[in-house]
Amino acid sequence: MTATTTTPAPERRAEPTSRVREWLGSGILRDRAVLLLALIIVLLVAMSILDALGLTSGTFNSDYLASTLIAYVPLALLALAELFVITSGRGGIDLSVGSMVSLTGIVFAMLYQQAGLPLLVAIVLAVLFGALLGAINGVLTAYLGYPALITTLATFYAYRSIALVVSEQRPISGPEISEFYNAAKAVELPVIGGSLPLVPLGVFTFLIPVAIVAWFVLNRTTYGRKLYAIGTNDTAAQWAGIDTRRTRMMAYVTAGAISGLVGVYTVAQFASARPDAGTSGSGMALPAITIAVLGGVAITGGIGKLSGILLAALLIVWLNASILLVVPGNEGAQAQLLALGIVLLGASLLSNATIRRRQAGAPRRLAVPATAPGAPK
């Protein structure tokens, strides 16, 4: 153990003036929500200027921004799923969310369209099915000791394969599902709707309820406290009497249930259940993890806030929408990749640099990946 051989850290005695300077230098960047909010405002201002100068290919206004929220719902929800899993620590990550979205979408369409179950029953069963898929991840990771990356890589392949085989690689659609399309499309709110842009209904039916429940669970329940505890220090949490395995497993179950809900949402969004809804292209898992990290979730566990997730997803969705206006067509779609990559790299390098500057007085330490044995928790 290295701790016994190194001398204890010298007492940190920062001068008050340098403390203030440090706080000014890093304070605004320290809170991820403030940074993201600032970036969103910069984006909106810049786009408004470009729009006023006539440099955009379409009008940039609140209606346009509101209409892009249809893509915001699945992105924010899956990033929220990653929040639970990554925060649970010990290298927690879920690569299988996209596959779970595909598979629960197919199961939902089968229950609703082909078995003719009532809508609400079908939704509940689909979400429960998603939770079951998440429970498989959870049992393997929390109880059997598989590294999360391995578990969810395996189930990514397995669930995707099942979704494609069960559906015979054909999308499921029909009159009931076409009707269900209304659940995601834009609506005018009653009473105050006239003065507001048209917001997709999915924001109210899917995102806001889940966000409220998630906020409550993370901040106002013992489960939330336990989740942050096991992510911060698994051993300490165990000694504090927390059932770490059960707590960690529930994080994966939650991620599965949320993925199930996103599966239902994608069926509504596309008016059909596509067997590759969550896995086509680079899939849904990678953007979800990217947004979670951008939102300030520490990949080492124990740190992560709902506000960061919601703002990071909003930033990415509006950034993508803005890019499409400035760089039209295929080139714009490609530029979105670049923007996502640059924002992720910039945010993670920047936040790491701020943390390091704060620790400047402490002995120099290398960042050890949390998954490494003996890594500082």
Partner 1 sequence: MTTATEARAPQAVSMRRILPPIVTGQEVVLLVVLAVLWVLLGIFTPAFLTPGSIGPLLVQVAPIALIGVGMTFVIITAGIDVSVAGMIMVSAVVTARVLVSYDVPAIVAVALAIVIGAALGALNGILIAYGRVHPIIITFGTANVFTWLGLRVFDSSTVNGIPSTLEFFGRGAAGSTLGVPHSFAIAVLAVAVAWWFLRYAKSGRNLYAIGGNQNAARLAGIKVQPRLVWVYLITGALAGLAACMIIATGTSTLDQSVGSGKELQVIAAVVIGGTSILGGRGSVVGTLLGAILVQTVVSGVTQLGWPTQLGFLFVGIFILIAVGTDIIRERARRARA
State the residues that interact with partner 1 by CB under 8 A.
1-2, 4-6, 91, 93, 95, 140, 144-147, 149-151, 153-158, 160-162, 164-165, 168-169, 281-282, 286, 289-290, 293, 299-300, 330-331, 334-335, 337-338, 340-342, 344-345, 348-349, 352, 356, 365-374
- Rounded to a whole number of angstroms, the minimum distance from the CB of residue 113 to partner 1 is 22
Contact assessment for residue 278 and residue 68, using Cβ atoms and an 8 Å cutoff:
no
- Rounded to a whole number of angstroms, the minimum distance from the CB of residue 248 to partner 1 is 16
Closer by beta carbon to partner 1, 44 or else 149: 149
Single-letter amino acid code for the residue at 150:
I
- Rounded to a whole number of angstroms, the minimum distance from the CB of residue 306 to partner 1 is 20
Contact assessment for residue 40 and residue 305, using Cβ atoms and an 8 Å cutoff:
no
Closer by beta carbon to partner 1, 172 or else 184: 172
Using CA atoms, how far residue 296 sits from 86, 99, 259, 290, 347, in Å, is 11, 25, 21, 10, 9
Closer by beta carbon to partner 1, 121 or else 360: 360
How far apart are alpha carbons 135 and 318 in whole angstroms?
Answer: 34
Single-letter amino acid code for the residue at 309:
I
Three-state DSSP class for residue 173: coil
- Rounded to a whole number of angstroms, the minimum distance from the CB of residue 344 to partner 1 is 4
Closer by beta carbon to partner 1, 75 or else 140: 140
DSSP 8-state symbol, 185: S
Tokens representing residue 154 in the block = 């395996």
Query: Within a 10 A sphere around the Cβ of 99, how many other Cβ atoms?
Result: 29
Single-letter amino acid code for the residue at 136:
I
- Rounded to a whole number of angstroms, the minimum distance from the CB of residue 92 to partner 1 is 12
DSSP 8-state symbol, 56: S
Closer by beta carbon to partner 1, 106 or else 183: 106
How far apart are alpha carbons 144 and 92 in whole angstroms?
Answer: 14
Closer by beta carbon to partner 1, 24 or else 372: 372
Query: Longest Cα pair distance anywhere in the chain, in angstroms?
Result: 72
Closer by beta carbon to partner 1, 2 or else 17: 2
